[in-house]
Structure 1
Amino acid sequence: MVARKQLSVAIIGGGPGGLGSAIALSELPYVSVTLYEQAPEPREVGAGISIGRNAWNVLHLLGAAEGVKGAKKGHSWQRNGRTGEPANLDAASGPGKPEEDGYAAIRARRTRLQAALLEQVPTGIIQFNKKLVSLHDIGENKGVRLVFKDGTEAIADLVIGADGIRSIVRRTLFPDHKLHVTGNTAFRVLIPVSSIEHLTQFPTSTGWWHGLNGHFYFSHVDDESERELCEITVRSYNETVDPERTATWAIPATNERVLARTGEYDPRVKELLQVIPEGSWREFAMVAGPCLQDIKGWDKVALIGDASHPLSGAFGSGAAFAMEDGWILARAIEHTTTSDTTVKDALDIFQEIRGPYYERMYDFLDKRRDALGKTREENADFDSIIRARIAVFGVLGGGALDWIYKNDIKQTWHDYVAAEQGAKL
């Protein structure tokens, strides 16, 4: 048996995608992995995160499933934001639809997912305080040179860009690919459940309250045995954001700024918002970009997670997508030969499997946007617009997107290998 060529891999970004990639690749004895994270210590910004069947599938493969606990989502209510009246089209909406085989969808603190993944990353792999400022192709079979803000440099055979929606790796590979601000801004906060116990009229089941120009979201994020924190999001659809503004992620927002966007909501929502301590809100101004035809470059760089598909959280499953990317890339490297084209061959496999998956997502979003736009033009009244919007949640929960929310990434890999073997017969 021919010994495999040693391969050095540099991962840029310590979110779920970067950590998942580090775990999967570290299991290969001929791969040396270094993860570069710009933060000075492990951290995760945001509030809650949805963990559905697709996420559980890959978390089990990464050995991190047991460390992720949260609130079972079960029935997710869709409500008229002005009246609070339930407006669900079916028994359970969206990716929170209950499962019968132990894969119950949950809403969890993002920090818990981060901690569970960090626990599985081998010691010594992560380097903090490493902000990438540039990367350079240094020639065929010579890898990529990485330059960091602190003046240090590194060379790797393969670079994985897991550096988020504003990815410097993507900007380097595809400088003509431009992001745009969407006007969709989320204001998020986690607060103690104890702080709202006196609000007996507010329903604390998971739910969306839909308004004309946004929605209000509430969910628990802890297991029933804890019930320490809950999550609140106020989403505004028509914000004006300076296209040149860079600090659009997790910046502090005042109570006044948030409350100014909730005038049309049910009084119970407004009463709940009054308990939020000043200084707690964080603002997330969304950006997005067009579909990339290639999610690899230079035959030695891969883009994963939001770096590869800047959808601005459109499906609420970005962490799962990113972890799936990393796991598939590890399988592709494991599958390729020991020749000098190992990295190129692995990236071709990665592109073949994951590229069309994201193109399918963009196609779905284009059709949904067109349908909602047509409904808004044809129906000027509030109730019709809200029903049309909630109908989208019915689609999410009706099985039409099982290829996303029930995706079995291990089976995807087996199907690829089987098809490849069949083509050789």
Structure 2
Amino acid sequence: MTVDASIRNLRVAVIGGGPGGLATAIALSKIPNVSVNLYEQASLLREVGAGISIGANTWNVLELLGVADTLTSGHPTWTILNMNGRSGEELDRRERPRGGITRPPIRTQRTELQKALLAHVKPGVIQLSKRLARMVDKGRKGVELYFEDGTVVEADLVVGADGIRSVVRDAAWPSYEIKFTGTTIWRTLLPWDAVKDLDPRFEITGWWHTPTTHVYFSPVGEGLWEIASRAWQDPATNSASKKSWGVPVENAYVESYFTEYLPKIREALARVPSGGWREFAAFAGPELAQLTAWNNKVVLVGDSSHALSGAFGSGAGFAIEDGWILAQALAYWKNDTSKALPLFDAIRLPYYSRMYAHLAAEADRRATKLKDLGDPTFDERVRNKIITDGGKDMSWIYQNDIGAVWKEHIDRLEKDKELV
């Protein structure tokens, strides 16, 4: 096989073994002259959490990666509910259109997505027990990465796929700061048979709300059922550790936040086996002006690039899209990072900017509505916090076709070349 001599050799270090890191490694491994290694701090590659949503946007990019057919487990989420957690009143029911859909939206276990992605990572790419300590910009020589076990690695390109608490971002954007949002999340999985006697509505994916908390119930396939519960406290008077991510917590502590709920909901929480809960403190940070740094030797993908703490419920999809676009940009520019990374920025940065703008507008809308209500009742406050589209078209997120987005940008780029 003849190799194009104009394609540069590129050593890529991907930091982080979540969905974004795995997808990036898969996509990069298909590019000629790219040597990719993925470094994960854990000694065993495992997902922390419970369920994950796979919608049209994520299916689209999984198809492009060749992974979609490997993900076979999950619960179809054609119907989504929003309920008043104290009264049981149905506040919003969304029926997703089924016409022309080849793959249904699903809620599945995070481990199932990880397993599907892992099946497509080439042997020898993943290096475990590699916790990144620091990075050094070596100019034209690339980047030196220092790991806590004493390993030193050189790379031409570093991909920060290490999440919202990114060490890569801390190194290349030292002034960037994430802050506790006030929200704490508790997640668990338990057998559906353990709770199916309580309420038939619990078999429908949905949120049950009070003004400052919610409980999310959903089957995730394989006979399992997910609970993801959240509580908000004013971050001005409450704090959390940046390291509080997936730590065990006592059942009684979790249940103490949800005493206002319907008895059936409280009973569902009480049926979680001892030691089953994991706690996650939600952090978020401001919009970045660029997703690339160090003269196009560092790039961020996934939550490290947009610290929004799961605001749209499709973070894995966004991260996988990032990895695929990065690989296409490198392939298009024959591994020339000075051209490929600005192209990646041009495609993905406006997308995340639009998300930040949407969230700001939604926060303003809610604040204005509460002000207009004057002294709102419990039920009015619950209604005001329900996340709906509000008449806005959200297909740019949930039906995003990243392949079509890429083609549109490249067609425009080729047209611009012809005009020069």
Give the TM-score band, short-chain normalised.
over 0.9
In the TM superposition, what is the alpha-carbon distance from 1:217 to its structure 2 partner? 0.7
Q: Which moved more, 1:154-163 or 1:247-256?
A: 247-256
2:196–2:202 CA contact under 8 A, matched in 1: no
Structure 2 contact 202–217 (Cα < 8 Å) conserved: no
70, 73, 77: which one pairs with 1:73?
Answer: 77
Match of 1:326 among 313, 323, 328: 323
Tell me, in whole angstroms, the C-alpha distance in 2 between the residues paired with 1:237 and 1:176.
Answer: 27
Q: Which amino acid aligns with 1:159?
A: V
> Which deviations, in whole Å up to 9, do the C-alpha atoms of 1:223-274 show, x marking residues without a partner?
xxx4x10001111011668657232111111111111111111111112112
Aligned mates of 1:33, 1:13 — CA distance in 2: 13
> d(CA) in 2 for partners of 1:11 and 1:173?
15
Give the counterpart letter for 1:232 in structure 2. Answer: I
CA contact (8 A) 2:47 2:114 kept: yes
> For 1:286, what is the secondary structure of its paired residue?
strand
Equivalent of residue 230 in structure 1, options 225, 228, 247: 225
The alignment status of 1:254 with 2:250, answered yes or no, reads: yes
User: Deviation per CA, 1:286-336, whole angstroms, max 9, x where unpaired?
Assistant: 000000011100121100101100000000000000010010000110111
Q: Is the 8 A contact 2:146 2:152 kept in 1?
A: yes
Which residue does 2:299 correspond to in 1? Answer: 302
For residues 272-287 of structure 1, the aligned pairs below 5 Å read 272-287=268-283
How far apart in 2 are the matches of 1:296 and 1:201?
48
Relative distance call for 1:135 and 1:99 in structure 2 (3 A) is farther
The equivalent of 2:49 in structure 1 is 46
Q: 2:146 & 2:400 partners in 1: Cα distance?
A: 37
Contact 2:242 2:283 in 1 (8 A): no
> C-alpha distance in 2, partners of 1:239/1:216?
19
1:402 aligns with 2:395: yes
Query: Who is 2:37 aligned against?
Result: 34
Q: Distance in 1 between matches of 2:241 and 2:227?
A: 25
Q: Describe the superposition over 1:129-177 as per-residue Cα deviations: whole angstroms up to 9, x where unpaired.
A: 00000011101x2110000000010001111000100101101111111
Q: Report what 1:386 is aligned to.
A: 382
Deviation for aligned residue 1:207: 1.1
Cα distance in 2 for residues equivalent to 1:113 and 1:335: 28
Letter paired with 1:117 = L
TM-score between the two structures when normalised by the length of structure 1: 0.93
CA distance in 2, matches of 1:9, 1:255: 43
Counterpart position of 1:184: 183
Measured in 2, the distance between the counterparts of 1:175 and 1:46 equals: 28
Aligned to 1:7: 10
Identity fraction in percent = 45
Aligned residues: 410
Cα distance change on mapping 1:356 and 1:13 into 2, 3 Å: same
Q: Which residue of 2 aligns with 1:367?
A: 361
Using the TM superposition, give the Cα deviation of residue 99 of structure 1 relative to its aligned residue in structure 2, in angstroms: 5.7
The alignment yields a C-alpha RMSD, in angstroms, of 1.7
Give the Cα–Cα distance (whole angstroms) in 1 for the partners of residues 58 and 70 of structure 2. 13
Paired residue secondary structure (2:203): coil
CA distance in 1, matches of 2:97, 2:147: 44
Instruction: Indicate yes or no: 2:319 matched with 1:316.
Output: no
Give runs of aligned pairs for residues 168-207 of structure 1, distance below 5 A: 168-200=167-199, 203-207=202-206
Please give the secondary structure, in 1, of the residue aligned with 2:404: helix
Aligned residue number for residue 159 of structure 2: 160
Asked if structure 1 preserves the Cα contact closer than 8 Å seen for 2:6 and 2:334, the reply is no
Q: Is the 8 A contact 1:135 1:172 kept in 2?
A: yes
- The one-letter code sitting in structure 2 at the alignment partner of 1:248 is S
Contact 2:242 2:281 in 1 (8 A): no
Task: Give the counterpart letter for 2:102 in structure 1.
Answer: G
Quick check: 2:220–2:226 contact (8 Å CA) kept in 1? yes
Runs (5+) with no aligned partner, structure 2: none
Residue of structure 1 equivalent to 2:127: 127
Deviation at 1:394, TM superposition (A): 3.9
Q: Which amino acid aligns with 1:188?
A: R
Instruction: Tell me by how many angstroms 1:378 deviates.
Output: 2.8
Q: Which amino acid in 1 is paired with 2:410?
A: V
CA contact (8 A) 1:202 1:268 kept: no
